[in-house]
Every structure is written in C-alpha cells, then in structure tokens.
Amino acid sequence: MLTPVQMFYDLLGQGLPAPGAGPDKVFQSVTDNDAEACVFCGQVRPSGIQLNEGVPWRKALPPTFNDSDDMGEGGFWCDMCRTASLGAVLPLTGNVLISGTEIVRFASADKEGLPAPVRTFSPHDIPKLMLNPPEPPFAWVLKTFLRTKAEHVIWKAKVSLSRDVFFVQAGGRSLYVDRESLARSLLLLRELLDSDLITPPTVKSRKGLFHSMFKGYFNLPKWARDVPAFVESWFAAMDDVPPEIKYLLQNVYPYVWAEFVSEGDRCEMTTNPKSGASAT
C-alpha cells in the first residue's frame, strides 16, 4: 500500500535527518522489525522504536498531541514517521501536496536551501490546484490554511488515485473533494461576490464566508432594498453542496476573493512519469 510518508521518502531519498534513539525508559530501538505495523502509517518497516512494556503512548508523546484516536494498535513507531515529525522536517510535511515527482509546499515566503523536488507555491494557489490537481497518485495535507490546530498529520492523509474525486487532509479531518462540485460552488461564490451584495472582509482577516455573512459583512442597505432572489437561489444551491466542499469554500474563501478562481485558472505541477507508464 502506498502511503504519503512513503511518497515523501521516495522523493527525498536519504537526504532527511535520522530520528535518533528515543528516551531509554520509554522506548527501545528496533532494527529488524518484520511483523509489527507502525501505529501511525500502518506499515511494517524494518527500523523504528518500540514502547517498553507497560508504558502507555500518552507518556511517550507530548501532552499537546491530540491525534491519539487515530493511532493504530501496538507500540511500534517507524523511523519514517518519526523523521516526518521532526521539527526540521515539519515545514516539508505540514502544508504540502505530494505527487510522484515533486512536493509543493504552501507558504507565503520562499525558503532557501530546500531540496530539488520541493517547490514553494503561494497559499493563493490552493484553490487553483484543487481545480487542477496533479496526475495521481498524490497526497494533500493542509494543517494550517484550513483553520486547524493539528500539526503532525501527514501520516493520516490518504493517497488519492483520481483527479476528479480526491482527499485533502485538513488537520484531523479527511475531506473528500468532488472537483466538479467544488468548481460549481466556486462559480456560485464568485457570482455572489461580483453581485456587490456583500462587502468582503480583508484577506488578512482569514474569516470564513459564513462567518462574514453572519457577522455583519453584508452590505445591509442593498440587501434590504433588493431582497435579492439571487441570494435566495444561492442559498438554495448551497443546500446541495456537500459538507466537505462547504468547509473548503469557507476556508479557501480569502484566497478566492484575492484572486477569483475558475476551472480555466491553472496552476501546474510537473507531470508524473509513473501515471504515463501505467496508461500505456
């Protein structure tokens, strides 16, 4: 089974730091594991660390770790997942779209010295890439842009095998994105914004669309004057929008507003040679 952690490693090879030994009283090192699955990625990998008998995971993980509910059974933590959670590696696993050939990292500023398969894209490119995702397989993790507190979530992401329906790991939530539905919803959102019925919040405020609607960003005099059938139909249409897409719309809204996005707006990742091979 292909996992996001495996894809990450396939691209970066041995260039990543080694995780080192765990604290003695809590873990023992394992170098020849051939049976136990990692509690995070679910894979059986040769090396990692094993919880000592009788030590609970809550003693081994920081108190801020709030994803225990999704961990598997057992006490083995593979070295790949340990490396992916190292502080030095987190900038490469937190807000990323990993394809077969490159890792796109979403950040407002470029960072020097990143290894070649890593490119930095603006958060404003998130909606564009959702409408034009790379060739599968790919894995998408967004820990901060979708208003979430979870930090170490790459191991939870699902690998997507389709450009039309795919997964986005938004912190602790796994969103199932129907691209056509997202495109339709973005169009509706654009019509609403173009209609001058609302006064948009600033991009900086990062307020969600629905938050802004109910917190007075509406242009109320115009609303009262027109009693717009348009907005009624917009709400009616939104009733048909799946909850995952609504969640995405609320959160990508600041970026959509900054630069309207439609299906014609493209943002390219490099072509994946693996998918080309499987098509022949």
**Smallest gap, in angstroms, from Cβ of residue 100 to Zn ion?**
20
Dist. CA 30–CA 78, nearest whole Å? 9
CB-nearer residue toward Zn ion: 7 or 78: 78
**Smallest gap, in angstroms, from Cβ of residue 163 to Zn ion?**
27
C-alpha torsion sign, points 221, 222, 225, 228: negative
Radius of gyration of the chain from its Cα atoms, rounded to whole angstroms: 21
CB-nearer residue toward Zn ion: 33 or 95: 33
CB-nearer residue toward Zn ion: 71 or 258: 71
Give per-residue burial for 86-100: e unless 16+ CB within 10 Å, then b: eeebeebbbbbbbbb
CB-nearer residue toward Zn ion: 81 or 126: 81
Dist. CA 71–CA 65, nearest whole Å? 11
**Smallest gap, in angstroms, from Cβ of residue 12 to Zn ion?**
15
Q: Are 17 and 38 in contact (CB under 8 A)?
A: no
**Smallest gap, in angstroms, from Cβ of residue 84 to Zn ion?**
8
Binding interface with Zn ion (CB under 5 A) = 38, 40-41, 78, 81
CB-nearer residue toward Zn ion: 40 or 166: 40
DSSP 198: B
Q: Are 127 and 155 in contact (CB under 8 A)?
A: no
**Smallest gap, in angstroms, from Cβ of residue 175 to Zn ion?**
22
